[in-house]
């Protein structure tokens, strides 16, 4: 039987790997007698000063080589990427099932991979994990993990995940937490499915697991104009959002009094839809789930205030447009108005309707390039267009509709710039454009 190894793609010149004769195309079969299925496992096994590598050379010969990492902590190789573990659920709310034709291919991958959860904060359900993989997570300290819980009532969770049988979430969570793994939980809230008493049960069941469960993010069900999901389930409305926030406020006050943390946090969309004020920064504690749209607007406002206060150089004569989606438009418009008054610029904010996904999708991260094009062509945008950084894939830099910033620039006949990952990067971009 041929043993599967971890393929070496590159070897750094002058590295430990080069010194011991490793070459691109070699396979690492084991380190100190342990298999290494991916780079995470490899790095964990390379944490010792002296390691034994069992390697299969390109000619098929297998050999043991020793590597002394006492002085140089890195082996000096690049290995192949791991194959993403996919989802084995059929979630009622699955957004991938709501995608239109023509989306970038990477969006159609239904990942449910604990390694991506550890590395990038992707949410996993834990339904596809074996006992051996749970043990690996604990041994290699792959913490924190971001877990989609949705409901702790077994029947409700089973229904939401589209499974035939109840899974053993409670046991898995307790095993991981008992092994020292911290959890950030997520609840995708579906009106009339897991809200009300079910939401309360889920929140307090998870609270019993604190500090193993560090936080809960509650985010709204997203409904595009595609597929059948929109026809079967109720959307999140302003009235629903207001009632939800009022329901949860006593819980949050209780948690703050007991553990000095809000513990359960609601996505910005609930506050904006409801017309209620965003909570202050202290409400979000360490902003643990900001990438899930929880506290993102508050974080932006705080950072914008800081940057606006410390910048002195004029931007007079700078004329262009900043595009964003419906949800963030009022916030960004207010900020840019203040920027224009202080620095003498003539920037405008362009509200973009999401025609590609549907009018119910109001977040900037899911804007298509063609949506941006239509909105920009309807306005006199000035000399350039700035698009939301989160609307572009981190991997290949394209929009959800497989349109690129270069495509957009060519069609508009004007430069198109990604806005940056932070407010600081955004201000740097403006000064760079302004010369």
Per residue, what are the HEC states of 1-42?
A: CCCCCEEEEEECCCCHHHHCCCCCCCEEEEECCEECCCHHHH
- Residue 432: CB atoms within 10 A of its CB come to 9
In terms of residue numbers, what domain contains 109? 96-294
Check: CB of residue 118 under 8 Å from CB of residue 143: yes
Taking alpha carbons only, the member of 326, 224, 324 closest to residue 273 is 326
Looking at 251, 276, 294, the residue that finishes a domain is 294
Residue at 85 is within a domain = no
Are residues 120 and 266 located together in one domain of the fold? yes
The answer to whether residue 88 sits within a structural domain is no
Return the closest-CA partner of residue 293 out of 386, 390, 435: 390
pLDDT value for 173: 98
pLDDT at 435: 80
Looking at the structure, do residues 112 and 255 belong to the same domain, yes or no?
yes
Report phi then psi at 427, rounded to 5. Answer: -65, -40
Which of 294, 320, 344 is at the close of a domain? 294
Task: Say yes or no: 421 and 331 in one domain.
Answer: yes
Could you tell me if 119 and 165 lie in one domain? yes
**DSSP letters of 193-251?**
TT-HHHHHHHHHHHHTTTTTEEEEEEEEPP--SSSSHHHHSPPP-HHHHHHHHHHHHHH
86 located within any domain:
no
Determine the pLDDT at residue 415.
Answer: 97
Report yes or no on 91 lying in a domain: no
Measured between alpha carbons, how far is 125 from 137 in angstroms, rounded to an integer?
A: 14
Decide: 69 and 48 in contact? Cβ < 8 Å.
yes
Q: How many domains does the chain have?
A: 3
Average pLDDT of the chain to the nearest whole number: 95
Do 39 and 105 sit in the same domain of this protein? no
Q: What is the DSSP string of 162-180?
A: T-SS---HHHHHHHHHHTT
Residues 368 and 356: their CA atoms lie apart, in Å, by: 6
pLDDT at residue 1, rounded to an integer: 40
Last residue of a domain, one of 249, 271, 294: 294
User: Is 152 domain-assigned?
Assistant: yes
Mean pLDDT of 320-343: 96
Give the per-residue pLDDT at 227.
Answer: 86
CATH number at residue 236: 3.80.30
pLDDT digits (tens, 9 = 90+) for 15-57: 999 999 999 999 999 999 999 999 999 999 999 889 999 999 9
- Say which range, 70-74, 126-130, 277-281, has the weakest mean pLDDT: 70-74
Question: Does some domain include residue 90?
Answer: no
Q: Indicate whether 287 and 307 sit together in one domain.
A: no
Q: How does pLDDT run across 216-247, given as a tens digit for each residue?
A: 999 999 999 998 888 889 999 999 999 999 99
Q: What residues contact residue 272 under an 8 Å CB cut-off, 6+ apart? A: 278, 297, 327, 331
2 confidence band (pLDDT: 50, 70, 90): low
* Domain-embedded: residue 377: yes
* 104-108, 143-147, 425-429: the lowest-pLDDT one: 104-108
Percent of the chain with pLDDT over 70: 99
CATH number at residue 36: 2.30.42.10
Q: Report CA-CA distances (Å) from 65 to 21, 29, 48, 56, 395.
A: 9, 12, 15, 11, 35
Same domain, 278 and 228: yes
């Amino acid at each position: 039987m041929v043993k599967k190894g971890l393929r070496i793609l590159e070897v750094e010149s002058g590295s430990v790997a080069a010194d011991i004769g490793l070459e691109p195309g070699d396979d690492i079969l084991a380190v100190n007698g342990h298999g290494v299925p991916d780079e995470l496992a490899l790095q964990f096994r390379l944490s010792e000063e002296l390691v034994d590598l069992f390697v299969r050379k390109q000619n098929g010969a297998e050999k043991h080589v020793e590597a002394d990492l006492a002085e140089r902590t890195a082996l000096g190789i690049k290995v192949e990427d791991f194959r993403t573990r996919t989802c084995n659920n059929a979630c009622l709310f699955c957004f991938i099932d709501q995608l239109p034709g023509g989306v970038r291919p990477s969006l159609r991958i239904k990942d449910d991979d604990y390694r991506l959860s550890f590395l990038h904060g992707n949410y996993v359900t834990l339904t596809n994990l074996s006992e051996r993989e749970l043990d690996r997570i604990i041994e290699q300290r792959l913490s924190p993990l971001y877990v989609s819980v949705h409901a702790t009532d077994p029947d409700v969770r089973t229904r939401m995940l589209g499974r035939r049988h109840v899974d053993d979430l409670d046991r898995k969570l307790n095993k991981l937490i008992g092994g020292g793994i911290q959890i950030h939980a997520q609840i995708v809230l579906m009106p009339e499915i897991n809200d009300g008493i079910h939401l309360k049960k889920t929140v307090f069941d998870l609270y019993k697991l604190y500090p193993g469960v560090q936080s809960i993010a509650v985010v709204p069900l997203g409904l595009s104009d595609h597929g059948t999901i929109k026809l079967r389930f109720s959307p999140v409305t302003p009235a629903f959002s207001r009632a939800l926030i009022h329901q949860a406020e006593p819980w949050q006050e209780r948690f703050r009094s007991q553990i000095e943390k809000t513990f359960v946090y609601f996505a910005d969309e609930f506050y904006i839809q409801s017309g209620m004020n965003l909570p202050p920064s202290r409400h979000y504690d360490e902003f643990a789930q900001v990438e899930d749209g929880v506290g993102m607007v508050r974080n932006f406002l705080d950072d914008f205030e800081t940057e606006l206060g410390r910048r002195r150089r004029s931007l007079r004569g700078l004329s262009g447009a900043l595009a964003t989606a419906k949800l963030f438009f009022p916030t960004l418009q207010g900020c840019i108005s203040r920027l224009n008054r202080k620095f003498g610029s003539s920037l405008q904010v362009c509200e973009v309707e999401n025609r590609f996904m549907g009018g119910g999708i109001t977040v900037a991260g899911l804007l298509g390039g063609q949506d941006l094009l239509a909105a920009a062509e309807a306005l006199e945008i000035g000399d350039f267009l700035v698009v939301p950084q989160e609307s572009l894939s981190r991997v290949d830099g394209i929009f959800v509709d497989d349109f690129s910033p270069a495509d957009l620039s060519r069609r508009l006949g004007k430069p198109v710039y990604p806005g940056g990952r932070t407010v600081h990067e955004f201000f740097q971009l403006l000064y760079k454009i302004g010369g």
